[in-house]
Structure 1
C-alpha cells in the first residue's frame, strides 16, 4: 500500500518536468522511484534534461537509467528539485536525512532550485515535527559539537551509528543525532541556530517554500 502511494506521488511530480530543464534529484526510496520514472519519460519524449544528484546512490541510479548527471558547480541554475522527506508538518516544514544521511547535498540542491517539490506517502504527514534532527559535522569537531548542542537543547544528543561505528556521509563527515524531548517549535529559527555552531556543516531541517505531493491509495493530493 505504501509503495503504491510513493509511486503515485512520483508519477504526479513528472507533470512539472519540461523539456530542457535542469533538475535536482533527491535521495531516499520515493525519490528513487521518481528518478526511474523520469528516465523513462526522458527517453520516450526526448526531453534533453540535465540532472544534479543529491547523493552517490541517486547519481548511480540516474546514470544507470540513462540520465545526464553533472555536479552542482557546473550549473548556473536548477529549475526544479524533487525530493522526499521523513516528516512534513502542517506548515510544510520538513525533517530529512534518515534514508541515507544525504541532507547536506539535498539542501544545497533543493534550496538552489527555482521550484522545490516534495513527494511523500501519507505516513510522512504529521501535525508537528517529532523525529530526530540529524546534523552533519566535521569529524575533528564532532565531540565539541555534541557538547555545544547538549548545552543548547533539551534532548539526547549522540553520534548516529551503524554497527557501533560513527555514520560517515558521502562528504566524509560524521552525523550527530539530536533527539529532542518535545516537538520541534520554530523550525526555521532552529535550522539557522544549529548551523551557526562551529563544526556543523548542515542539519536535516528544511524550511524553504515547497509544494508537497502526497501519494494516496487512489491517487494524490497536493498541498
Structure 2
C-alpha cells in the first residue's frame, strides 16, 4: 500500500501542524515509504507533543467508522480528541471498541458510543500507543497491562495507527531493556515464568512476575497474571520468539505486535513525524 494513500487530509484540530519536509524512511523493508514531518511550536512538554501526535492520528478518523480505542497515556489523548470532535459535531456516527476497562470508562464519560468485537468483528481503524517501535514498525506493547484486548482489537482492524514519542524507538525489539510482557494464566505461573526465561538465555533474559502497587500480583482485565521479560540484548528473531512463547501451555498472549502497524506517528523535540508502510 502506498504511503500517500494512508495520509489523511488536514483538519482544524491540527492546524498547528505544518508539513515542511519529506525524509527517507529508515525502515529496512520499506525504503520506498516516505516519512512526513510536521513542525511544532518550541518549548513544548512531552505531553504537549503526545497530544499533537494524537490529534494527527485522529485525522485518520472519518464519520461512520468503527474505531478501536487504545490504552495508555498517549491513547488517552486520542480518546479525548475523538470525544471533542463528536461533541462539536465534526465527527458523527462513530462507534468505539475499547481495549481496556479504563479506556471504556474514559470513552463512556466523553459520550463516545461503545461496542465490542462480538457486535463489530470488523473494525475500520484502531489507534493506540506502543512501548517500543523498531525500524520495520514492529512493536512491543502491553506495559499498561492490556495486551490481550489490544491485540484482539487491533488484529481485527483494517488500519492500525500507532502514536508514540521518540523515546520509544529502538533498533530491535527488547532493545530498551524494559519489560516485554507475557500474559499467563494464574495456575502454576511460576512454572511458566521459569520456562519463559529459559527460552531466551542467549539474550540474557530475566523474567519477573508483575506486581501491583499493593505488592500483590498484578491482575489483568481478563483475570490473568503478567510475566515481564527483560532482555540484555534485542530479540534476535521476533517472529520466532513470538511462536515459541505462544507454544507454551498456559501462555495467553505476548506483547510482540508484529507486522500489524499501518503507520506510526512519532512526537519528538523537532515536531511530529509519520512513518508508514
Normalising by the residue count of structure 1, what TM-score does the alignment of the two structures yield?
Answer: 0.95
Shift, 1:73, TM fit: 1.2
Shift, 1:70, TM fit: 1.0
Greater helix percent: which structure?
A: 1
The structure 1 segments of at least 4 consecutive aligned residues displaced by more than 6 Å after TM superposition are none
Distance 2:268 2:169 in 1: 12
Contact 1:85 1:94 in 2 (8 A): yes
Distance 1:168 1:11 in 2: 32
2:68 counterpart of 1:24: yes
Shift, 1:189, TM fit: 2.1
Q: 1:83 maps to what in 2?
A: 128
Shift, 1:5, TM fit: 1.3
Q: Find the partner of 1:169 among 201, 213, 220.
A: 220
Distance 2:268 2:207 in 1: 35
Q: 2:149 maps to what in 1?
A: 105
Q: 1:58 maps to what in 2?
A: 103
Distance 1:141 1:208, change over 3 A: farther
Contact 2:66 2:95 in 1 (8 A): yes
Distance 2:121 2:154 in 1: 14
Aligned partner of residue 114 in structure 2, secondary structure = coil
Q: Which runs of 5+ in 2 are unaligned?
A: 1-44
Aligned partner of residue 140 in structure 1, secondary structure = coil
The 5 A counterparts of 1:154-165 are 154=201, 155-162=205-212, 163-165=214-216
Question: How many pairs does the alignment contain?
Answer: 222
CA RMSD of aligned residues (A): 1.4
Distance 1:66 1:87, change over 3 A: same
Shift, 1:171, TM fit: 0.6
Aligned partner of residue 111 in structure 2, secondary structure = coil
Q: Which runs of 5+ in 1 are unaligned?
A: none
Distance 2:77 2:67 in 1: 15
Write out per-residue CA displacement over residues 155-213 of structure 1, whole angstroms, 9 at most, x where no aligned residue: 21121112321110011100111112321122122122211110000011111231101
- Which has the greater radius of gyration? 2
Write out per-residue CA displacement over residues 105-144 of structure 1, whole angstroms, 9 at most, x where no aligned residue: 0000111100000001111112222232111011013122
Distance 1:158 1:218 in 2: 36
Larger mean Cα displacement after TM superposition, 149-158 or 52-61: 149-158
